[in-house]
Amino acid sequence: MQINWFTVIAQGINFLLLVWLLKRFLYKPILKAVDEREKKIASQLQDAEAKKAEAQKEQDDFKKKKEDFDGQKKSLMEKVVADTNKERQRLLDEAKDQANSLRNSLEKATKENQANQEQDIARRTKQQVFDMTRKALQDIASLSLEEQSVDSFIRRLNASKDEEKQQFTEAFHSNSNTILVRSAFDLAEKQQGEISGAVDAVLGTKTNLQFQTTPGMIGGIELTANGYKLAWSFSAYLDSLEKNIPGQTKENLEKNRNAVN
């Protein structure tokens, strides 16, 4: 069989022309479209990865903020609870202090009121006893209770121990203008003279006494000189009696109890 080279060459040229045409007008557009598609897909994938990373970052930030908020909320709650407990304890302590102060004030007021009542009762009792004694002595004696009080005071002064007289003398010589004689009643000139004479005899010199009336003494006479004091009072006897009666009563009760046993 004889080969027709012209036909072979023509077909080769046609094939090459077809390949060029396909490559020029078909493959290149397709490859270009595929490349563009791949680039577009790669770009979309990159955008998606970037958005995913950004979303993850935002999620992490939100999680961190939530954890910080939870921590701050917990810290604030603990602080509020601590402050509340502290304020509650402060109010309780303040209320307790106020209650104790009020109780102490009430107890003090009660004791003071009781003491004042006891003092008032004791004073009125002494005054009543003093008045009754004065009336009784006036009925049975020729001397008044005031005169007997002066006599008793002078005897008390003369009967003082040498040590007491020495103290009186030293007090007088340290300041001779401070001898004060206080009495529960007004002293007559005669009574003042008797007391002045007794004091002069003890001190061995002429003195100038200052006399003062103090009704609260309840039947008594008191001499003071620069810290030294010599006193005789009916109230002192009543105080001594008041102190001795409870002890004697208790002693008598013990004796009676022992006798019964």
Q: Render pLDDT for 14-34 as a digit per residue (tens, 0 to 9).
A: 888 888 877 777 777 787 888
pLDDT at 147: 77
Percent of the chain with pLDDT strictly greater than 70: 76
Of 149, 157, 125, 148, nearest to 239 by C-alpha is 125
Res 112 pLDDT > 50: yes
Residue 193 has pLDDT above 80, yes or no: yes
Report the amino acid identity of residue 161. K
The CA–CA distances, whole Å, from 114 to 19, 83, 243 equal 135, 45, 18
In the chain, count H helices and then E strands. Answer: 6, 4
Compute the average pLDDT of residues 167-184: 77
**SS3 of residue 106 by DSSP:** helix
Higher pLDDT, 9 or 244: 9
* Residue with token string 């003062």: 212
pLDDT tens for each residue of 46-96: 888 888 888 888 888 888 888 888 888 888 888 888 888 888 888 888 888
**126: confidence class by pLDDT, cuts 50, 70, 90:** low
Closest-CA residue to 153 (of 185, 116, 125): 185
pLDDT number for residue 48? 87
Length of the chain: 261
* Residue 186: band (very low, low, confident or very high) from pLDDT cuts 50, 70, 90: confident
Give the pLDDT mean for 90-106.
87
Residue that wins the pLDDT comparison between 216 and 114: 114
Angle subtended at Cα 195 by Cα 231 and Cα 167, rounded to the nearest 5 degrees: 50
Question: Which of the pair, 178 or 168, is modelled with greater confidence?
Answer: 168
Distance from C-alpha of 131 to C-alpha of 124, rounded to nearest angstrom: 10
Q: How confident is the model at residue 260 (pLDDT cuts 50, 70, 90)?
A: very low
Q: What's the pTM? A: 0.40
pLDDT of residue 133: 59
Residue 224, phi then psi, degrees to nearest 5:
-130, 140
Rounded to an integer, the average pLDDT of 188-194 is 88
pLDDT of residue 140: 37
Highest mean pLDDT among 54-58, 124-128, 136-140, 162-166: 54-58
Residue 36 has pLDDT above 60, yes or no: yes
Residue with tokens 């930030």: 61
Does residue 183 have a pLDDT over 70?
Answer: yes
